[in-house]
Amino acid sequence: MKIGILETGNPPERLGGRYPTYGRMVANLVGPGHAYTTYAVADGILPVDPTAGDAYLVTGSPAGVYEPLAWIAALLDFLRAVPPETPLVGLCFGHQVMATAFGGRVAKSEKGWGLGLQTYTVRTRAPWMDDATEIAVPAIHQDQVLDPPPGSRTLAGNAFTPHGILDYSDRRALSFQVHPEFEADYATALIAGHSPAVPHEPGAHAAALASLGRANDGPRLGGWIRRFLENGD
């Protein structure tokens, strides 16, 4: 399968290049057996022909989908041009930009930041999922999908992030607000030095970091994504 990775961000410079790119993290999550091509979307680079790839995956990003950036507008147009039968998978920003492209609403949550290991309850089981009733996966986000797009359904979420996993009935598309591609060491380094304009409450920040020491379901979600891509269900 020829998989285009739409790379919309990368680890921050403060981490000194000690971690893989987001494109590499996503390829590692999905695993071997596919031909991956990474496109630096945040630098204005997209596939020339949206019909050429067998599937596309959209990475995380520090940007917000509502920002008036030329590359975000171009990405929204590209996603709308991908044939409905071509699989699309989004992670964090990818989850949000897909929802925006297909008619949903994304904004900063008044509840603040979702940091650390986030536990979602599985509400609806798709054929490519296993029998998990809940999942726990690293996250770092304030933006989230507030109104899902028409044609989508919520597979899992929690009180903080009701629409944590979406799939679509009108296209082969699947997206996650969490970061299954983040290894615990990277998630810890990213969150430890995260300094938003409104600082995190120290106790909540410490609890988020501590949570990352627990086992997480990132590899499980990697299996879900592989089955979704490879089996077509």
pLDDT for 73-110, tens place per residue? Answer: 999 999 999 999 999 999 999 999 999 999 999 999 99
What's the one-letter identity of residue 122?
Answer: V
What pLDDT does residue 175 have?
98
pLDDT-derived band at 183, boundaries 50, 70, 90: very high
Is the pLDDT reported for residue 168 higher than 90?
yes
Percentage of the chain beyond pLDDT 70 is: 99
Which tens digits make up the pLDDT trace of 125-152?
A: 999 999 999 999 999 999 999 999 999 9
Which tokens is 56 given? 């596309």
Q: Which fold has domain 2-231?
A: Rossmann fold (3.40.50)
Write the burial class of residue 223 (CB in 10 Å: 0-12 exposed, 13-18 middle, 19+ buried).
middle
Number of H helices, E strands in the chain: 6, 11
Task: Please report, in angstroms and rounded to a whole number, the separation of the first and last CA atoms in the chain.
Answer: 16
What pLDDT does residue 231 have?
84
Look at the chain and count its residues: 233
What pLDDT does residue 233 have?
55
Domain residue spans of the chain = 2-231
Q: What is the DSSP letter of 92?
A: T
Which tokens is 23 given? 């494109």
What's the one-letter identity of residue 106?
Answer: V
pLDDT-derived band at 198, boundaries 50, 70, 90: confident
Distance CA 115, CA 217 (A): 16
What pLDDT does residue 199 have?
86
What's the one-letter identity of residue 38?
Answer: T
Report the pLDDT averaged over residues 111-120.
Answer: 96
The dihedral through the CA atoms of 106, 107, 108, 111 has a sign that is: negative
- The helix/strand/coil state of 25 is helix
Write the burial class of residue 154 (CB in 10 Å: 0-12 exposed, 13-18 middle, 19+ buried).
middle
Report the pLDDT averaged over residues 198-216.
Answer: 93
pLDDT-derived band at 229, boundaries 50, 70, 90: very high
Q: What is the DSSP letter of 129?
A: S
Percentage of the chain beyond pLDDT 90 is: 95
Which tokens is 36 given? 């991956």
Q: What is the DSSP letter of 41?
A: G
Write the burial class of residue 95 (CB in 10 Å: 0-12 exposed, 13-18 middle, 19+ buried).
buried
What pLDDT does residue 16 have?
84
Which tens digits make up the pLDDT trace of 21-68?
A: 999 999 999 999 999 999 999 999 999 999 999 999 999 999 999 999
pLDDT-derived band at 14, boundaries 50, 70, 90: very high
Which tokens is 35 given? 């031909």
